[in-house]
Amino acid sequence: MLLEVADLKTYYKTNRGMLKAVDGVSFSLQKGEILGLVGESACGKTTLALSIVRLLPPAAKVVSGKVVLDGQDVLSMTDDEMKAVRWKKASIIFQGALNSLNPVLPVKRQIAEAILAHEKIERQRVDERIDMLFDAVGLEPTRKENYPHEFSGGMKQRVMIAMALACNPQLVIADEPSTALDVIVQYQILELIRSLRDKLQISMVLITHDLSVVAEICDKIAIMYAGKIVEFGDIFEIFEKPKHPYTQALLKSIPKMEDAKSHLSHIPGSIPDLTGEVPACRFYGRCPYGQKICEETEPKMEEVDEHYVACHFWREISK
């Protein structure tokens, strides 16, 4: 087990009260696995990722729960101890990372900075390492002297991936790594991620709202809704036998190239305001199967053959 998250709760302090962005999330990740974390905007995906590497903004706080990374309890570490974990054991590629490179420095300097901040290593070795990294992500090593504006979007994303790999982490969290990219470049980046996993045996958490990206490269999938994981399991299981009504609705809302053209359905309504009162099952209100019990009692996570689902009626509706 490389990563284990247990009953994690992260709340934001806002003017309107506590915003329960992540509210009791548990999942685990094996070495070499790619997990797709899927959900709509504002369902808590990014907060969950930031909680794992402890990079939350000041207004947010982990209230309870556990994050165990490679046997170490991340949440009880001191800041110095955490610094040794971040980048070396777990790194993160932020959403919109394409624009987060410093425009007035050559990319080489920026990657070197990341390496030198976390490792004691000679200057010359740093250069060699950058060459290796560029090679691994499919960039010409000579390009390291270039400035960010000299790269295209896809190449910048490669630079960001190289940077995330700079200190040989076991876990890489990527927040919407291919969302801003064109189809063909997206394909190239997904292919790169796939080959890096095969070569380096790194584990990944891939955050996205796009189920087709998940279908393309993930081994496992966690469906998140309003701060909770509602379904979790093997990719084939969930795509072929989705048990939660939210997952079923999501799958029906994406246009498919494989099948004959059919009418797309959408999920009416929107995610509830997480600062206020929410129904016990948070999908109640948008769920076509919702009943009184859903409003009053929170559904527990149930397991059938390593397929986890939190719904009172999953047996009835997945028949």
Partner 1 sequence: MISESSTESLVAVKDLKKWFPVRRGLISRGPRNFVHAVDGVNIEIRRGEVLSLVGESGCGKTTLARLVLRLIPPTEGTVIFDGQDLFSATKNEMRKLRVQVQAVFQDPYASLDPKKTILQTVMEPLAVNKLHENASRTYERVYEALDAVGLSPPRLFVGKFPYELSGGQRQRVAIARAIVINPRLIVADEPVSMLDVSIRAEILNLMLDLRRKFNLTYLFITHDLAVARYVSDRMAVMYLGKIVEVGPAEDICARPVHPYTKALLSALPTTDPRKRQRGVGLKGEVPNAIEIPAGCRFRPRCLFAFEKCGVEPELIKVDKDHYAACYLAEQAA
Q: Which amino acid is residue 317, in one-letter code?
A: I
Amino acid at 199: K
Least CB distance from residue 208 to partner 1, whole Å?
9
**Is residue 204 part of the contact set for partner 1 (CB under 8 A)?**
no
Rule CB under 8 A: say whether 255 interacts with partner 1: yes
Closer CB to partner 1, residue 65 or residue 272? 272
Nearest distance in Å: CB 73, partner 1 = 33
Q: Which residue in 211, 228, 210, 216 sits closest to 308, CA to CA?
A: 228
Of 14, 21, 27, 35, nearest in space to 219 by CA: 35
Q: What angle do CA 115, 119, 121 make, to 5 degrees?
A: 90
CB of 237 to partner 1, least distance (A): 10
Largest alpha-carbon pair distance within the chain? 66
**Window contacting partner 1 (CB under 8 A); options: 47-55, 113-121, 199-207, 245-253:** 245-253
- Cβ neighbours of 300 (radius 10 Å): 9
Applying CB under 8 A, among 1, 59, 264, 293 the residue interacting with partner 1 is 264
**Cβ neighbours of residue 154 closer than 8 Å, sequence gap 6 or more:** 181, 182, 185, 188, 189
Q: Applying CB under 8 A, which part among 158-166, 168-176, 211-219, 277-285 lies near partner 1?
A: 211-219
Query: Any contact of residue 95 with partner 1 (CB under 8 A)?
Result: no
Residue from 221, 277, 283 nearest 19 by CA: 277
Single residue of 182, 198, 295, 306 touching partner 1 by CB under 8 A: 182
Between CA 129 and CA 24 the distance in angstroms is: 40
Instruction: Tell the smallest beta-carbon distance from residue 183 to partner 1 (Å).
Output: 5
Contact call for residue 261 and partner 1 (CB under 8 A): yes
Give me the residues that bind partner 1 (CB under 8 A), please.
40-41, 152-154, 182-188, 190-191, 209-213, 215-218, 235-236, 239, 249-251, 253-258, 261, 263-268, 270
